[in-house]
Amino acid sequence: MYRQVPPVDRKMMQKINQNTLLNLIRVHAPISRTELRRLSGLSQGTIFGMTASLIEQQLIVETGETQSTGGRKAELLEIYPEGGYVLGLEIREYELVMVLLNLHGNIVAIEHYEAQFRSNAVYALDWITTSVDAFIRRTQVPREKLLGIGCGVSGGVNTHLGEVVDSWILDWHNVTIGPPLHEHFKLPVFVDNSVNCLICYERLFRSGQMYHNFLLVTFGRGLGMAAIIRDSPFRGSQGLGAEFGHIPFDAHGRFCECGNQGCLEAYVSDHGILRTYAEIVAGASSHADAVDVSLVEQLVELAMQGNQDALRAFELTGTYLGNGLACLVNLFNPECLIICNEGEHLLSLLSPSMKTALKQHTFSQLGKNLQLICEKSTTIESWARGAGCLVLQDFFASPKQF
């Protein structure tokens, strides 16, 4: 379709330049004005004018000096962490995690609110607005410094409408949360799938900063995935793509929470690995040493004590996961694959068989320069932090021209 590109007005150009500088300062801080000029291609006058304006707006700050090439001292710049704050919310089955982040993405305050969100979408908005209002009051953050609210939920989300399309974990279907939260708080509200939130955090502040094409896979209550392709989140045509957990693994296999049969998540998740362990124990010739476990943490402990059935369950699950990851590598050819789990030891137990299967099924040379990162330090707070990063991502992004 032919579309006439409107002229970029002066104000828009200034905004684009301002955000270009903000982003360069965020990524390369502490950075001198000379270096900023080199990286941005902007004129010296523009750099001086813009940085003065950003300092006045309290968005950046001079933090020290460096020796410049001519022997003169040059001031170094970085983002002023207290220049603004964002709220990140992670809605789980039985709790709401709320964090307040500064512009460095660091957690300034955190609170947990317990309630049964699962199957209770009708009450959820009231619980969220009441608890977030109270949280904002307790943090004493000046209202004008709040830039927005990011909200993470499991399942498919229509990010344009702020609607949870289908969350099987929460048992929420077609629940609109973005507009009512915006109406109540009078702040920009961003709603996205929790794994997309987590990859946003990785991309802005952690390992993901170094890559243009990378994938993030989360193993836990479910099996989730998010992808950054050419520096942009991959969503598919309806914004609901990358449902790695629900690719068919065994058409006649276990039933999945989504209502389908044989999804990978029914095998590769906390409940999947417990089921695998139960099947191993049931199939063993002797049941004399069988240990009953109901939590994945107990299974981890058992495996670490050398229990053969538990070790076998991790080995099998690692193979299933590795096969799935090989599919992803063959499809996306990423530079990096980040695997996250909230437990400290689970990934170590899965790792050997996972790596073997991944290597075995990766096509041709697609795995040649692949970086594999096992992120064991993911916590429940990381997810909420990711939700807050949705706002920071928008804040640091260049405004769209048309």
Q: What are the residues binding Zn ion (CB under 5 A)?
A: 246, 256, 258, 260, 263
Strand partners, 166: 156, 173
Nearest distance in Å: CB 166, Zn ion: 11
CB 258 → Zn ion: shortest distance, Å?
Answer: 3
199-225: burial string, b at 16+ Cβ within 10 Å, e else: bbbbbbbbebeebeebbbbbbbbbbbb
Exposure string of 252-282, with b = 16+ CB inside 10 Å and e = fewer, is eebebbbeeebbbbbbbbbebbbebbbebbe
Using only C-alpha atoms, what is the Rg of the chain? 23
Considering beta carbons, is residue 251 or 282 the nearer one to Zn ion?
Answer: 251
Least CB distance from residue 384 to Zn ion, whole Å?
25
Cis amide linkage into residue 30, ω under 30° from 0: yes
CB of 246 to Zn ion, least distance (A): 4
CB atoms within 10 A of CB 357: 19
H-run or E-run covering 319: helix 308-332
Least CB distance to Zn ion at residue 342 (A): 21
C-beta of 13 vs 258, nearer to Zn ion: 258
Closest approach of Zn ion to the CB of residue 194, in Å = 17
Nearer to Zn ion, 203 or 246 (CB): 246
Q: What distance in Å separates the CA atoms of residue 356 and residue 352, rounded to the nearest whole number?
A: 6
Pairing outcome for strands 163-167 and 156-158:
antiparallel
Do the strands 189-193 and 146-153 form a parallel or antiparallel pair, or are they unpaired? parallel
| 118, two tokens | 């699962």
Q: Which is nearer to Zn ion, 197 or 268 (CB)?
A: 268
User: Residue 249 Cβ, how far from Zn ion at the closest point, in Å?
Assistant: 9
Nearer to Zn ion, 78 or 166 (CB): 166
* Closest C-alpha to 228, from 336, 100, 92: 336
CB nearer to Zn ion: give 187 or 258.
258
Residue 181 or 263 having the CB closest to Zn ion: 263
